[in-house]
Amino acid sequence: MKRVLAAAPAVVTALMLASCSAPPEPDPVPTAWALAEKVTADAIYAHLEELSAIATANRGSRAVGTPGYDATVDYIAGALRDKGFEVSTPEFEWLDLDNPGEPTLEVAGRSHPVTQASPLAGTPRGGVRGESLRPREPAGCAAADYGDVRGALVIVDDTECSVVAKQNAAIAKGAVGLLVVSAGGTEGLFEPGYYQKLTLPVAVIDRTTDAALRRTTAPVRLTLDAQASVAKSRNVVAQTKTGDTANVVVAGANLDSAPRSPGINDNGTGVAALLAIADALGPESQIGNAVRFAFWGSERLGAAGKYLSGLDAGELDDIAAYLDADMLGSTNAGFFTYDGDQSAEPSEAPEGSAGIERTLAGYLNLAGVRPADMPMDGTGDYSPFLKAGVPVGGVTTGSTQLKSAVQARIWGGRAGAAFDPQNGTPRDGMDNVDHRALSITGPAMAFAVGTYALSIEGDNGVPARDQRHRRG
């Protein structure tokens, strides 16, 4: 069982005593405990009802690219402005796929499915045909890596540089297409906005297709016929007017739903919890560090990463920590903290992540639930913060993973069933939220926000401003 610690022990101890008496409204000096007490399930449900009404009025969906999405953005922005926050809605671009096509590579008379890197850069009708050649350096990042590849499709690996750099090098030597061999580990391959920078037909191929290419010297044919258009959507960002802006605590949640789903647990619960925290904190509380509430347009489309890519080095260094709220009310709930100390799956997490996990785990233990680790991967809204070197933490009650027998004994619920059996379906409505789970996880997020808004120091603190070297 994890140790129960507070982020700033001396401060939190004093504030726990202060929270024994009811603070006046509004509370000018919030404590982590007082903030958590204000973020009740009823306060969160008030926002959930509004999100549910938006979905109902828009064919049961709040997915990006739909009127329900736009209405969700307007509701969040309006609710924050009504509380006195200054709100921005920065745009991000994404590819709206009009026609997935059937991208293929024909090798020795056999068609292999491939992934078209950019639906904006396809082949002419009938595809492009040429020899398949490889550069002297497998990554193919510079024109000097190539010999004569005029009229050829060049084959490179997925390491060392972006797909745009690989394309530019191949174009400089006269290639008519690019084939990138990848086993799925494509970190750093696709830079922000890459799809608009690709003009050459570029396909991502797997090892099996690469093996087929190695067995032939005959020309091959690449057909890339997916089509898409560039769409724009909005994030919602609001920050307190008080607190140190060189030590910003960012609390985030994706605001969209899955296609054809109301998205009330996923991720209306995260959105509603952050709105309830913003309501309780207010824009002018006497806090040590500024708090930025960020509602990401879409987890699937990497909206958080696109937002971070627009920040300069100083703005990145100003971010002290990132707290993620995702699926806080699953009906077959587990109680997970993101694995900041990497005890479940060893890998590198930014310094300070372990302290955030201890802060959240300590609150959950006091709330009567025993937390477990949720490994962090490259898919969550926290992922770009993780890659940038920002300390990351958060809470979730689980998604489509199956609850084990041990977990059912610890938390109750059904072993062998998903934590959220309705995830991503039309049935992810108000009935798909567990009141008890939300009454624990929402205040837990509030406690973490309040803790680091007061101080980033202490046993569970995060690195000071002069110790941060974020990676853009």
Residues noted as catalytic: 299
How far CA 405 is from CA of 334, 416, 417, 434, in Å, comes to 12, 7, 10, 20
Task: Report CA-CA distances (Å) from 386 to 53, 314, 348.
Answer: 34, 17, 9
Instruction: Report the distance separating Cα 120 and Cα 147, nearest Å.
Output: 28
**DSSP 8-class letter at 418:** B
Beta-carbon contacts of 181 under 8 Å, excluding residues fewer than 6 positions away, are 155, 156, 157, 158, 205, 206, 207, 210
Give the pair of three-digit tokens for residue 246: 């060189």
The token duo for 452 is: 């680091």
Check the CA dihedral 445-450-456-457 and report its sign. negative
Give the integer Cα–Cα distance in Å for 87 and 310. Answer: 17
Taking alpha carbons only, the member of 264, 274, 267 closest to residue 238 is 274
Give Cα separations from 134 to 115, 117, 169, 205, 469 (angstroms): 19, 19, 12, 14, 37
Question: How far is residue 454's CA from residue 214's CA, in Å, rounded to a whole number?
Answer: 60
Instruction: Give the list of residues 6+ apart from residue 409 with CB closer than 8 angstroms, or none.
Output: none
Number of other residues whose CB lies within 10 A of the CB of residue 345: 11
- The two tokens of residue 304 are 């958080």
